[in-house]
Amino acid sequence: MINRSLVFLLLLVSQVSWAQVRVVTELTDNWKFKKGKNEQAYKVNFNDKGWQKVTVPHDWAIYGPFDKEVDKQVVAIEQNGEKVPSEKTGRTGALPYIGEAWYRNEFTLPNYKKGQKVLIVFEGAMSEPKVFLNGQKVGEWAYGYSYFYFDITNQVQEGKQNTLAVHLSNQGQSSRWYPGAGLYRKVQVIVKNPESIDQWGTFVTTPYISADLAKVNVKTKVAGKNVRMVTQVLDAKGNTVATDSIGKLFGNQFEQNLAVANPQLWSPETPYLYTAVTKLFAGNVLKDEVTTRFGIREISYKPTVGFSLNGKVRKFKGVCLHHDLGPLGAAVNKAALRRQLQILKDMGCDAIRSSHNMPSIEQLELADEMGFMFLAESFDEWAKPKVKNGYNRFFEEYAEKDIVNLVHATRNHPSIVMWSSGNEVPDQWGAEGVKRAKLLQDIFHREDPTRPVTVGMDQVKATMASGFGALLDIPGLNYRVHLYEEAYKAFPQGFILGSETASTVSSRGIYKFPVEKAVEKQYPDFQSSSYDLEYCSWSNLPDDDFVLQDDKPWVIGEFVWTGFDYLGEPTPYDDKWPSRSSYFGINDLAGLPKDRFYLYRSRWNIKEETLHILPHWNWEGREGQTTPVFVYTNYDSAELFVNGKSMGIQKKHAGTPQNRYRLMWMDVKYEPGTVKVVAFGKDGKPVAEREVKTAGKPHKIVLQPDRTEISADGKDLSFVTVSVVDKDGNLCPTATNQLSFNVKGKGNYRAACNGDPTSLEQFHLPTMKLFSGKLVVLVQSTDQVGDIELSVKGKGLQTGQVKLKATR
């Protein structure tokens, strides 16, 4: 039986005249860039001939050079418990992000006819953007991470060239990490009819879900009178599974409920996506059309039960991520984001926190598609400063606008399961802060009644006393493992989220002796040990969090600080030059896994085996000395052999948190040769083994691309892991050879990164030293299809070569 609305729709479709609907143009090419004041650069006739040609997204600061003097801050970092100021170098990455700069772009809009509406949309501009079109100012914003748009209908010209100029300005002491600089996210121009759907005007929710039926509620804000909305829901294959047509406007909003039979639910394991196509008609004329991807899923947070997704209780296995992409800086790149998520997926991670700001739309799209839950954060500061020129300067004027835009621009992403209005804000102290917490949470609720709000709290005692923590939907604790129990009792919500955990520090492939737990330990080489026992005065080891997750049903999961190293905040070497990037990452700045990756994987990836040995076995000079061996594995017990001699069986057991989650042979004496581990299954029989050998001299360069075929779109990237092996193919774990890179054919050398937090080599230059035997080279496609060849050379080493393909 055909229902009535379908009949109407069929009639409608057969009579529709297909007028031009919206045209979205991404401004990628044809940009000119220059640093400096250039006060006249907003003018149409300004001469920008000598300016640098760039493409957007672009980060002007990532090309360096690293410089100790950039943003050198003589400060006491109060939230780290410091009382006395000291010189902080590298806090924001020691890259030249400070200053003013201009971007100019000349574009025409062939489809634009006078009478239409034109918007310009920025998904982030670092920072304090002022936007001019054809010599006139069209608007300005403040926070560099915000999405915002302006109506440029009055400034845009029909059939002629339009001159866009964007002024950006970054102040020193405005960040606690590398913020990047420039138009580092997408810029789009949207041409649409006067009768049209508002920017971010669609809101899709799924308020009722059962096995055989889901209610999809679609609210759409529009401009225009005597208009009608037709909405279709498509399944992942593009089949229409529900249709609705409505003519009744409430104010400027349509509201529709569509029934989807036998809904496929979205989850990290089954990231099934539907699409809502909303069409606006005036009479029979189609005036606008917007496509919105969404998921059908149910979230709930309940006392003692905790968090559940689609009715199943689960705990967040999450990581915090800063927005920079290591050697690419802040310039957003989907291939780089996708690779990060693939690495995290393999680890078993199922959630991301965009610390401490709005995520890129690209990252949310990938989280929807690949299956990651998302904690979308907004601010690192409210009205009280952490850094002199931080968000505190904008809070009063912008906080509400920034939250509204965050919610409107991203609320249809099923991945987002929680908002955060702040991270460790100093406003945790004082009565005003309590009011602000409520104010911001109310704004989130007003704009999106479907998701709860958290704040990452470090001043847990203060927030218990003041009521700050009690009013939040979700009390988030940053570290403070010793206060979980007390906070659970004091707060009324009935659960606690580990909104930020661990902050364990390590450098990939670096091991220090003796092996012992240590707080903010420093070494002369400015590296931290990969035995994963070093942390900070405010933080803890991964195992401490595991204990809470496992023993307390009311702990709803964790977001580890951090999934990947990031530029800036080189704790525990904040005041040591040349440290310029973090040591907190589970993976290093190049995206290469540190040992900790396997510790989390052994617990989070419940489908695949993990059996990982550390340290490496090249300890010339340590013969006969105690060199403990750790094994990170999902198996409960294992036996260790050094050159065939048993070192005994270890079994995970109650004792220290480390005993529960790691297998540790503390008394092994080093002798060159082979370390082998044999793991036992539940029945005590051997099920798996691994070995690590002492490597000989560096002999040959080996290249391993993450993808051999990339898209010829001028953006896509292949990440090629470069390592040096001995003549038998063993990784040389201490090699530091200087290598050089050459790309031929339809691709370009883009950047390299070795994950060494103290390296001052510039990422875009085609040479770099290995760090712990490895580095990563990024090869980028052009817009032409064809073969690409990367070759990597090093003195005295057999050259490495790899062939890639750019396709369409």
Does 558 contact ligand GAL by CB under 6 A? no
Taking the C-alpha atoms of residue 73 and residue 411, their distance in angstroms, rounded to an integer, is: 37
- Pick between residue 132 and residue 561 the one whose CB is nearest to ligand GAL: 561
- Straight-line distance from the first to the last Cα atom of the chain, in angstroms, rounded to the nearest whole number: 43
* Largest Cα–Cα separation, the chain: 87
DSSP 8: H
Q: Which residues on neighbouring strands pair with residue 791, listed in sequence order?
A: 742, 801
Q: How far is the CB of 412 from ligand GAL (least distance, A)?
A: 28
Residues in the chain: 808
* Residue 558, token pair as written in the block: 């964790």
- Please give the distance of CA 547 from its chain centroid, rounded to a whole number: 26
Per CB under 6 A, contacts with ligand GAL among 313-332 are none
Cα–Cα distance list, 342 to 34, 49, 370, 569, 644 (Å): 36, 42, 8, 25, 36
Q: How far is the CB of 367 from ligand GAL (least distance, A)?
A: 21
At residue 151, φ and ψ (nearest 5 deg) are -85, 120
At residue 668, φ and ψ (nearest 5 deg) are -65, 135
- Pick between residue 171 and residue 571 the one whose CB is nearest to ligand GAL: 571
* Residue 395, token pair as written in the block: 């809070």
Does 368 contact ligand GAL by CB under 6 A? no
Q: How far is the CB of 213 from ligand GAL (least distance, A)?
A: 42
Tokens 């290591």 belong to: 326
Contacts of 262 (CB under 8 A, 6+ apart): 211, 212, 213
Q: How far is the CB of 534 from ligand GAL (least distance, A)?
A: 12
Q: How far is the CB of 719 from ligand GAL (least distance, A)?
A: 26
Listed residue (356, 344, 366) closest to 406, CA to CA: 356
Candidates 128, 424, 569, 639; catalytic one:
424
At residue 786, φ and ψ (nearest 5 deg) are 145, -175
Residue ranges of E strands in 52-195: 52-54, 73-75, 86-88, 99-107, 117-122, 130-133, 136-140, 148-151, 162-170, 187-192
Contacts of 775 (CB under 8 A, 6+ apart): 590, 721, 722, 739, 752, 753, 754, 755, 768, 769
- Pick between residue 243 and residue 478 the one whose CB is nearest to ligand GAL: 478
Contacts of 444 (CB under 8 A, 6+ apart): 403, 407, 419, 421, 451, 453
Q: How many chain residues interact with ligand GAL (CB under 6 A)?
A: 13
Q: How far is the CB of 801 from ligand GAL (least distance, A)?
A: 40
Using alpha carbons only, what angle is made at residue 148 by residues 144 and 149, rounded to the nearest 5 degrees?
Answer: 140
- Pick between residue 498 and residue 733 the one whose CB is nearest to ligand GAL: 498
Candidates 195, 500, 534, 639; catalytic one:
500
154 neighbors 114 (Cβ within 8 angstroms): no
Residue ranges of E strands in 442-577: 453-457, 474-478, 496-502, 518-519, 534-535, 555-561
Per CB under 6 A, contacts with ligand GAL among 764-793 are none
* Residue 40, token pair as written in the block: 């006249």
Q: How far is the CB of 563 from ligand GAL (least distance, A)?
A: 13
Taking the C-alpha atoms of residue 361 and residue 411, their distance in angstroms, rounded to an integer, is: 11
Q: How far is the CB of 477 from ligand GAL (least distance, A)?
A: 11
Taking the C-alpha atoms of residue 610 and residue 663, their distance in angstroms, rounded to an integer, is: 13
Does 579 contact ligand GAL by CB under 6 A? no
Q: How far is the CB of 572 from ligand GAL (least distance, A)?
A: 10
User: Exactly one of 92, 162, 232, 503 binds ligand GAL (CB under 6 A); which one?
Assistant: 503
Q: Which residues on neighbouring strands pair with residue 711, listed in sequence order?
A: 807
Q: What is the contact mask toward ligand GAL in residues 411 to 450, using x (rule: CB under 6 A)?
A: ------------xx--------------------------
Q: How far is the CB of 59 from ligand GAL (least distance, A)?
A: 20
Taking the C-alpha atoms of residue 476 and residue 501, their distance in angstroms, rounded to an integer, is: 10
Q: Is residue 263 reached through a cis peptide bond, with omega within 30 degrees of 0 on the bond before it?
A: no
User: Exactly one of 48, 244, 447, 458 binds ligand GAL (CB under 6 A); which one?
Assistant: 458
* Residue 645, token pair as written in the block: 């001699």
* Residue 334, token pair as written in the block: 């989907």
- Pick between residue 503 and residue 587 the one whose CB is nearest to ligand GAL: 503
- Pick between residue 288 and residue 569 the one whose CB is nearest to ligand GAL: 569
Q: How far is the CB of 530 from ligand GAL (least distance, A)?
A: 18
Give the H/E segment covering residue 271: none
Taking the C-alpha atoms of residue 414 and residue 399, their distance in angstroms, rounded to an integer, is: 24
User: Exactly one of 33, 122, 391, 561 binds ligand GAL (CB under 6 A); which one?
Assistant: 561
Taking the C-alpha atoms of residue 749 and residue 747, their distance in angstroms, rounded to an integer, is: 7
- Pick between residue 203 and residue 379 the one whose CB is nearest to ligand GAL: 379
* Residue 449, token pair as written in the block: 């009644």
69 is catalytic: no
- Pick between residue 569 and residue 595 the one whose CB is nearest to ligand GAL: 569
Does 463 contact ligand GAL by CB under 6 A? no
- Pick between residue 119 and residue 505 the one whose CB is nearest to ligand GAL: 505
- Pick between residue 362 and residue 500 the one whose CB is nearest to ligand GAL: 500
Per CB under 6 A, contacts with ligand GAL among 66-85 are 79
Does 536 contact ligand GAL by CB under 6 A? yes
Q: At what angle do helices 334-347 and 595-604 cross, to 10 degrees?
A: 60
- Pick between residue 497 and residue 797 the one whose CB is nearest to ligand GAL: 497
Q: Which residue is nearest to ligand GAL (CB)?
A: 503
User: Exactly one of 539, 540, 605, 650 binds ligand GAL (CB under 6 A); which one?
Assistant: 539
500 is catalytic: yes
Q: What is the contact mask toward ligand GAL in residues 617 to 646, using x (rule: CB under 6 A)?
A: ------------------------------
At residue 594, φ and ψ (nearest 5 deg) are -90, 175
Q: How far is the CB of 580 from ligand GAL (least distance, A)?
A: 15
> Which residues are known catalytic residues?
424, 500
Residues at the site binding ligand GAL, with contacts judged by CB under 6 A: 79, 356, 423-424, 458, 478, 500, 503, 536, 539, 561, 569, 584
